[in-house]
Structure 1
Amino acid sequence: MTRDDIISVLGPVDEAVLADIALTGASLGELREAFAWIGADEALVNEGRHLPGARVARLIEILEPPEEDDGPRAPAAGFE
């Protein structure tokens, strides 16, 4: 998959993301599938689609924004 292929699916992205995606060895079709899962995972499951394979799952990991961290957690009562 070329840089232009990746940009055709994702639009402008960071060079590090481009490199990470290229290193997966994924195909353009797998990138498109990962992008679809990010945008509509519940809908795809409801359609009966199979869960993503290993390469698609890795692409999803690369593309998904990190979950927000609520900051440090308070210690449980009695465990300070």
Structure 2
Amino acid sequence: MAITRGDVVAVLGSVDDALVAEIIATGASLSELREAFAWLNSEEALMNEGRPLPGTHVAALIDLIEPQEDEDDFGL
């Protein structure tokens, strides 16, 4: 079952429409979105549980929702 805007907001909170569209376009499920969010927020804990590394959809979602670092943050 495809995820909806409501699903994305329920997991991630307030996000812009472009990100919601990109997430929906991945074809990922709600459980995959939840897993991606969990990996971003507690990667070490999941690895310590012996969980397998994220699959294709989850990895794509992580890339989309992971906060991006500005070059300005590094003084470049």
Q: Normalized against structure 2, the TM-score is what?
A: 0.88
Q: Does 1:56 align with 2:65?
A: no
**For each residue in 1:4-63, what CA deviation from the matched residue of structure 2 results, as whole angstroms up to 9, or x when unmatched?**
111111111111110000000000000000000000111111111100001100000000
Q: Which ranges of 4 or more aligned residues in structure 1 deviate by more than 3 Å?
A: none
Moved more, 1-10 or 21-30: 1-10
Which structure 2 segments of 5+ residues have no match? Answer: none
For 2:70 and 2:55, how far apart are their aligned partners in 1?
Answer: 26
Structure 2 counterparts to residues 1-80 of structure 1, below 5 A: 1-69=3-71, 70-72=74-76
1:68 CA displacement: 4.3
Letter in 1 for 2:43: D
Larger proportion of helix: 2
For 1:68 and 1:60, how far apart are their aligned partners in 2?
Answer: 17
Identity of aligned residues (%): 58
Which structure 1 segments of 5+ residues have no match? Answer: 73-80
SS at match of 1:41: helix
For 1:60 and 1:52, how far apart are their aligned partners in 2?
Answer: 9
Aligned length: 72
Which structure: larger Rg? 1
